[in-house]
């Protein structure tokens, strides 16, 4: 089945130690999104790619970076994680070819910062 995959599902890192979260998709969608979701809060958009065009949200900290080497893969790099970066990170895809343009989400990566 076509899907959005995130690895790992659970990630533990130490304060200040760089970490990379991975997202891959078999849907061949041209748009990929990264969201941060803290407990009992709405998902917050960090950035998105439209093909190779990177779009950063104005309030996304510089500590967060992203790479999209090809259509299928997108990475979220947290350069120096702080305790406040502990959250669920959701990857989503969409395409303008679908009538609803809905987003398809991966299962998320739950990040713990010690």
Partner 1 sequence: AQKITQTQPGMFVQEKEAVTLDCTYDTSDQSYGLFWYKQPSSGEMIFLIYQGSYDEQNATEGRYSLNFQKARKSANLVISASQLGDSAMYFCAMREGRASGTYKYIFGTGTRLKVLA
CB 60 within 8 A of CB 46: yes
Alpha helices in 1-114 (DSSP H): none
Give the SS3 label for residue 103.
Answer: coil
Those residues with Cβ within 8 angstroms of residue 10's Cβ, 6 or more apart along the chain or in another chain: 109, 110, 112
The answer to whether residue 101 forms part of the interface with partner 1 (CB under 8 A) is: yes
Q: Which two tokens stand for residue 105?
A: 């989400």
What is the nearest approach in angstroms of partner 1 to the Cβ of residue 16? 25
Nearer to partner 1, 15 or 50 (CB): 50
Give the interface size with partner 1 as a residue count (CB under 8 A). Answer: 26
Q: Which of 23, 90, 111, 113 binds partner 1 (CB under 8 A)?
A: 90
71: left (phi over 0), alpha (psi -120 to 50) or beta: alpha
Interface positions, 32-71, toward partner 1 (CB under 8 A): 33, 40-43, 45, 48, 50, 53, 55
What is the nearest approach in angstroms of partner 1 to the Cβ of residue 45? 7
**Interface with partner 1 by CB under 8 A: which residues?**
31, 33, 40-43, 45, 48, 50, 53, 55, 88, 90, 92, 94, 96, 100-108, 110
């Amino acid at each position: 089945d076509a899907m959005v995959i995130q690895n790992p599902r659970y990630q533990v890192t130490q304060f200040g130690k760089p970490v990379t979260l991975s997202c891959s998709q078999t849907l061949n969608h041209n748009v990929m999104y990264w969201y941060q979701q803290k407990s009992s809060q709405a998902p917050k958009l960090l950035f998105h790619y439209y093909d190779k065009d990177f779009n950063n949200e104005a309030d996304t900290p510089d500590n967060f970076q992203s790479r999209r080497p090809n259509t299928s893969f997108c990475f979220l790099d947290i350069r120096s994680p702080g305790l406040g970066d502990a959250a669920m990170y959701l990857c989503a895809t969409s395409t303008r070819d679908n009538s609803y343009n809905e987003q398809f989400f991966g299962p998320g990566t739950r990040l713990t910062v010690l």
